[in-house]
Structure 1
Amino acid sequence: MLGWRDERPLEDVLPAKDAHNITKALGYRTCGELLGHYPRDYIRHNKDVGLGDAAEGDIVTVTGIVSAISKRDTGRTTIINVQLDGNISATFFNALYVLGMLKRGMRVMLSGKLKFFRGIAQLQQPDFVVIDAFGRPSGELEPYLVPEPDSRQPSGKRSKKQQATGSLRKLSQFGRLDKLLLEREWIPIYPATSTVSSWYLMGAIHLVLSKTPSIEEPLDIDMMVGMDQALREVHEPPAAGPQRAIARLKYNEALSIGLVMALRHRDAQSRQAVALPAREEGARAELVAHLPFELTAGQRRVIEEIDADLSRTVPMMRLLQGEVGSGKTMVAVIAMLQACDAGKQSALLAPTEVLAGQHAASMSAAVPAGVKVVLLTGAMRVAEKRQALLDIVSGEADIVVGTHALIQDSVEFFDLGLVVVDEQHRFGVEQRDTLRAKTREGLSPHVLVMTATPIPRTIAMTVFGDLEVSTLRELPGGRHPIQSSVVPEWRPAWVIRALTRIREEVEHGHQAYIVCPRIEGEGGVLEVAEALSHGPLRGLEVGVLHGRMKDKDAVMNRFARGEIDVLVSTTVIEVGVDVPNATVMLIREAESFGVSQLHQLRGRVGRGGNASVCLFHTNASQESAAFRRLYEISQTTSGFDLAELDLRQRHEGDILGTMQSGTHRTLRLLNLAEDRDIIERTHEDAAALVARNPGLARELTKNLSDSEQEFLEKN
């Protein structure tokens, strides 16, 4: 938590049994971790609380006056029905103690799962607490209460007779129920588990808060809500509500990441690089002058931005994002030739050996004579690798293309001036920095990182906040938008037509992908390939590709050479060789994949200027959210629009690669889709704080949790 950590062990504050329960259920061991377990929602508690707009299946809490109680024996089960004013009923099974605890005229609070029966709202076997009985305060209920039969006494001191049942009864171990529940305007609802309920957490957090000293404000500016006030009010809101506390804690989360990125940016700005200004004559100018196509306006703009960066003695730190096929690689080649003209080497780090090989081949064919492109991968023969290493260290290699092999200690560059990282999301900061360190002592190379996965602005400011961002939105001339359609399994004729379309494309000399969500089992690569090769696609050359295969590159190269008509694959093709001849893709069970992944897969076809189609097969019903999502993707060709859709539909942590258990998320309150204003503000505030007080900025980031530090390092 920004600027504050509470390392007190839970067992020093809570009863040992309760501390153990929380640690076992949620993994929390310190008071600070528990206090960082924020409510997911709140119930505003007045005299009576109704259902509001709750839907069936929701866990709800209601209050009301008992208007009727009835008992019915079925022979095997005793059913007790408690009716509240407001047309809400509670049903209990074999719970005779309820007859002794509840009477007509009592005001009660009930908590349980909502169901509807013949239009009547029902709570089945809910927990409950008596608020008052016939106008008497809850503390005077002793004559009306009997102990629950065979109930085990929870830890801590309790009266022999209980005012509540279940998880609500357990809450009494942390204080008087009337104080904890009935005198509050807002009741917090926490992410819970089957063994640790929201009420139990509410009581534990209340006890920890009561024993937590006042928290000193960590920031050097006046905040509308102080840190101490925010932490207390988010758990125990005042009458005005929790909104101001939530806003301050969201600000803290955004500022934490912003400070790390601002410190990285400051570090990069303090480094020294060799200026690589563009020359009017040279390899760069020759390539541009003889391109067989015209650069898009977006490519020209980005080239100018990179040119300006390379001309400075401060290392370039730039992210280039663009659609699949938008021409990022050509922009990178032009930048690398600019470095070559200045007598410097460039290195391009690719995520796969197949892609590295393709880059090396296409660059070798494109660059002017005299520019040497060298490939280095782990699969190369010993003699080939030895020669490549010699070319790199001697300076013979102008452009080096490789995989993770490039960052090994055995690789030494003669004079590295520019680093290009392709598909940035496949690499972490540590790998990027390892390659950046392979330059001459005292100098840093310029760095360009690229991604074909469009990034929403809020993600860019958090994950890539230390980088300048360039964007390519246009497709080069001759590229056609990919036509997309949804193919429901419950429309058998459409499924047959999809397979017929694949055969037609092959008969016209083209190739096809079929993507499956799994390797084995029903709908897996192996089963689908077998069924199709002996059925609808009989007579065609059907190949198989998945992550467990040792000869993945060989299969992909066969497909690229046209030796395979239809490639049935998992998502290993998401980042792979360009196959301009592939014009159709069928993605089976497309509802299994994320928005960005579907768009990335779709970008594998249509790369040769031919009209292309992507078919999203689905088992989802027409009324489902999954079907509507696929339809929206099929109607949207812009990856940037889809990235925003992805952000709205998924937890931001999914996109950031953090854990999604609900209890171990880097961003617990901040919503990257909804809190753009906060993120933009903290982006600026972090830069200002680092500029005026870098020491404080470093101190504040030291207080990030281990999981938060891990998240930032990975990205």
Structure 2
Amino acid sequence: MPEVRPADAAWRTPTFRQLDARLDTLVGGRTATQLEGLRVRTVGDLLHLVPRRYLAGTELSDLSVLQPDEDVAVLAEVRTVRAHNLPTGGQRTGRKARLEVVVTDRRGFLTLTFFGAPHLIRYWQNDLQPGARGLFAGKVRVFNNALQLSHPDFVILGEDGSVIGGAARNEDMASIAGSSFVPIYPQTGKLRTWTIGSCVTLALGAVDRLPDPLPPSVREAAEVTDLVAAFQGVHQPQGREEQQRGLERLRFDEAFALQLTMARRRADAAAHGATPRARRPGGLLDAFDARLPFELTAGQREVGDLLFDEIARTAPMQRLLQGEVGSGKTLVALRAMLAVVDAGGQAALLAPTEVLATQHRHTIARMLGDLADAGTLGAADHSTEVVLLTGSLGATRRREALARVASGAAGLVVGTHALLSEDVAFADLGLVVVDEQHRFGVEQRAALGAKAAAGGRARPHVLVMTATPIPRSVAMTVFGDLETSTLRELPAGRADVSTVVVDVRRQPAWVDRAWHRVREEVAAGHQAYVVCARISSTAKDRPGAPSDSDGTGFEPEDAPPAVAVEDLYAELSAGPLAGIAVEMLHGQLPVEEKDAVMARFAAGETAVLVATTVIEVGVDVPNATVMVICDGDRFGISQLHQLRGRIGRGGHAGVCLLLTTATPGTPARERLDAVASTRDGFALAEVDLEQRREGDVLGSSQSGRRSSLRLLRVLDDADLIERARDVAALCVADPGLADDPGLADIVTDVERRAAGDWLERT
């Protein structure tokens, strides 16, 4: 198994030392600075910068896809050529000479305009004969309602693709245009594709004897070509087949690096023993089960038995539990936690926000009843304590909580990131449950495990939970160090929830009807949520102010400012919902006030809660039957599905109204229509991934920002990712590859990015 060492250690293999070389030593400081705009800083980065497309000598470009202000390089055929203002008979015309050329892809047309001295015009005219085929590069402009290139660089190509003429002011263009396949790179600033191609040529020369980091047996198992051949095939291919082989190797490398790291983590976890926590009959768990007022679903029983089996082993459990909103994941996790307490250990539940941590603590205490009253008079047999530990606790309460945790008196500990603080010490932490894993980092849950294992103690078992359904290809990529279980079945008694998209611009009367519907539900004894995408309309005037507003990153350009909680609360209280108990909740309220607001809403004292997405997960008020989400287009599919899951949790049917200004047919409106069409979170997860590709599902948000993966597409490349996973497992299991330096360097590179790149899940 590869050992992970500092990335800058002198022992790094020659391969990675060459690939990690700074670009300024190869291409000069100015060009290197320009390349940083493409996230290219080293020789390796440059060689992994795959061309966007290739131009073959026999394939004309599609001119219909050109857009104004776009820097382009197109292969086209000259259709017509016409010179203007050329002097005749030695007489000057008084006007600047101009050459106007129309080129075609045999479907559409593009105008090229050249200005210059008469002798240059005649020179270019001689090259640009009708029927000639050339490569033309420049910025697309609009003139007289038609697209044109003004004074483009160009080369004329012969039948064999060789350069036979032209006016390329950049010699890099002429040299690269003579290739069988012309690579077209993404461009940035003044850095043209030809310059990038020239830099790549220098990089290829610098690594022509580069040792392959993958051992021959691994390349054979993966059925990929060697690395130098892959770089050559991607950047200077002689044909499509060579280019595809090269690209396949680079794509495999990206998948394999991640999967090898995950495989190493799985092996490392298994190598560190855990204390077995076998289920003990007649204890706290049995007492709890006997009090349940309902039957567990088949899925809850099946997953529960699996967890009991795994925590009874000497290897630490590493499992992801995903399930629909309301499928009972918390109950399944609580039963595993109680089994650990019965076995003499402690269990910690890590939640992403104080509101959710507090809610979990209340929910667990309520479900346990007097089984959570250990240390008090009248406590039930086998009872334990449930302690809450968050960053906002006062000094006295914090000292008391820390003492209960350190002594072991608190069998169940619920908290936020505060559990990771240095002054938190557990007596015997046997199980870590991480709720809503997409809001935490791999390193954060690892830190809690390391804390428990300090002083030579065994590692705790780990259960990660998420109510955001995860397609299998994403699970393999993001949670590859975990085994996965899924809860699809909803408990009996769940009511139906209908979802309606309300077009605020076209259906203004429906907005009034939405508030009437809220009043009707309140009159019937039910409660309502109103969700906004931001806290205050003046939030931008308070630099650095924390926000729990949307976190989605969806900001429609043509939409009015998002409705704010503070503004809408005031408007509704004095207007459509006057006379009704309305309160507001957001992340900038003091903790005591947030707790009090939630307590009143949970008790039914408050009828309507106007809130941000702070109520997205964990909030359980069965009496809530209606939700109005303002500016629904500001949220992602998964977030809308999570929010909707807060209603219909009792036996009463619910309705979710998605208010939007998004135009029908736009991606924003398609998101809302998808959510309205189904309550199947797994189906929505596929739609979400299809619409925004992987976006930043491998990062911290659901914003649709570009993925940190360069070549892989988790939706399309599931087979490749699985193949890489299989090969990685073979590498970790093979004693002959355990200390392979190339594999060690691969893992080092991935681990080094873990805190700030695509393994980070904060």
- Under a length normalisation based on structure 2, what TM-score does the superposition of the two structures give? 0.82
How much is the aligned-residue C-alpha RMSD, in angstroms?
A: 3.3
CA shift, 1:129, in A, is: 0.4
Matching of residues 337-376 of structure 1 within 5 Å: 337-367=338-368, 368=371, 369=380, 370-376=383-389
Q: Is 1:470 aligned to residue 482 of structure 2?
A: no
1:138-195 deviation digits (Å, cap 9, x = unpaired): 4566xxxxxxxxxxxxxxxxxxxxx22xxxx44x2x4xx44311332x3323222233
SS for the counterpart of 1:360 is helix
Matching of residues 242-257 of structure 1 within 5 Å: 242-257=243-258
Matching of residues 448-487 of structure 1 within 5 Å: 448-487=463-502
Match of 2:459 among 444, 452, 460: 444
- What corresponds to 1:180 in structure 2? 176
Distance 1:333 1:19, change over 3 A: closer
For residues 402 and 474 of structure 2, the distance between their equivalents in structure 1, rounded to whole angstroms, comes to: 38
Task: Tell me which moved more, 333-342 or 579-588.
Answer: 579-588
SS for the counterpart of 2:685 is helix
Q: Is 1:682 aligned to residue 724 of structure 2?
A: yes
Would you say the 8 A contact 1:358–1:577 is kept in 2? yes
Task: Tell me which moved more, 666-675 or 99-108.
Answer: 99-108
Would you say the 8 A contact 1:131–1:182 is kept in 2? no
Match of 2:562 among 511, 520, 523: 523
- What corresponds to 2:745 in structure 1? 699
Matching of residues 60-459 of structure 1 within 5 Å: 61-69=74-82, 71=84, 81-84=100-103, 86=106, 88-91=108-111, 95-96=115-116, 99-100=121-122, 102-103=124-125, 104-105=128-129, 106-111=132-137, 122-125=147-150, 127-131=152-156, 138=163, 163-164=167-168, 169-170=169-170, 172=171, 174=172, 177-184=173-180, 186-220=181-215, 221=217, 222=220, 223-241=223-241, 242-367=243-368, 368=371, 369=380, 370-436=383-449, 437-439=451-453, 441-459=456-474
Structure 2, gaps ≥5 residues long: 1-6, 8-12, 87-93, 372-379, 538-560
Distance 1:318 1:107, change over 3 A: closer
For residues 706 and 656 of structure 2, the distance between their equivalents in structure 1, rounded to whole angstroms, comes to: 37
- What corresponds to 1:148 in structure 2? none
For residues 644 and 373 of structure 1, the distance between their equivalents in structure 2, rounded to whole angstroms, comes to: 38
SS for the counterpart of 2:456 is coil
1:23-77 deviation digits (Å, cap 9, x = unpaired): 4x345332222222222x313322461427636567561321252225499x999
Match of 2:630 among 576, 579, 588: 588
Would you say the 8 A contact 1:81–1:90 is kept in 2? no
For residues 678 and 703 of structure 2, the distance between their equivalents in structure 1, rounded to whole angstroms, comes to: 31
Would you say the 8 A contact 1:88–1:121 is kept in 2? no
SS for the counterpart of 1:102 is helix
Would you say the 8 A contact 1:261–1:465 is kept in 2? yes
Q: Is 1:645 aligned to residue 691 of structure 2?
A: no
Distance 1:613 1:332, change over 3 A: same
Would you say the 8 A contact 1:513–1:585 is kept in 2? yes
- What corresponds to 2:573 in structure 1? 533
Would you say the 8 A contact 1:90–1:125 is kept in 2? no
SS for the counterpart of 2:690 is helix
Q: Which amino acid aligns with 1:6?
A: L
Distance 1:527 1:610, change over 3 A: same
Would you say the 8 A contact 2:102–2:112 is kept in 1? no
Would you say the 8 A contact 2:320–2:464 is kept in 1? yes
For residues 679 and 466 of structure 1, the distance between their equivalents in structure 2, rounded to whole angstroms, comes to: 14
Match of 1:623 among 662, 665, 673: 665
Task: Tell me which moved more, 465-474 or 437-446.
Answer: 437-446
For residues 296 and 365 of structure 1, the distance between their equivalents in structure 2, rounded to whole angstroms, comes to: 20
Match of 2:43 among 23, 28, 31: 31
Would you say the 8 A contact 1:658–1:711 is kept in 2? no
Structure 1, gaps ≥5 residues long: 142-162
Would you say the 8 A contact 2:115–2:151 is kept in 1? no
For residues 652 and 54 of structure 2, the distance between their equivalents in structure 1, rounded to whole angstroms, comes to: 57
Percent identity among equivalent residues? Answer: 42
Would you say the 8 A contact 2:694–2:704 is kept in 1? no
Q: Which amino acid aligns with 2:534?
A: R
Q: Which amino acid aligns with 1:46?
A: G
Would you say the 8 A contact 2:261–2:750 is kept in 1? no
CA shift, 1:430, in A, is: 2.6
Distance 1:613 1:695, change over 3 A: farther
CA shift, 1:655, in A, is: 0.7
Q: Which amino acid aligns with 2:431?
A: L
For residues 163 and 295 of structure 2, the distance between their equivalents in structure 1, rounded to whole angstroms, comes to: 81
- Under a length normalisation based on structure 1, what TM-score does the superposition of the two structures give? 0.87
Distance 1:65 1:379, change over 3 A: closer
Would you say the 8 A contact 2:470–2:685 is kept in 1? yes
1:446-494 deviation digits (Å, cap 9, x = unpaired): 1111111111111211211111111111111101242112111222233
For residues 348 and 636 of structure 1, the distance between their equivalents in structure 2, rounded to whole angstroms, comes to: 31
For residues 618 and 366 of structure 2, the distance between their equivalents in structure 1, rounded to whole angstroms, comes to: 19
Q: Which amino acid aligns with 1:49?
A: L
Q: Which amino acid aligns with 1:326?
A: S
Task: Tell me which moved more, 213-222 or 629-638.
Answer: 213-222
Q: Which amino acid aligns with 1:643?
A: A
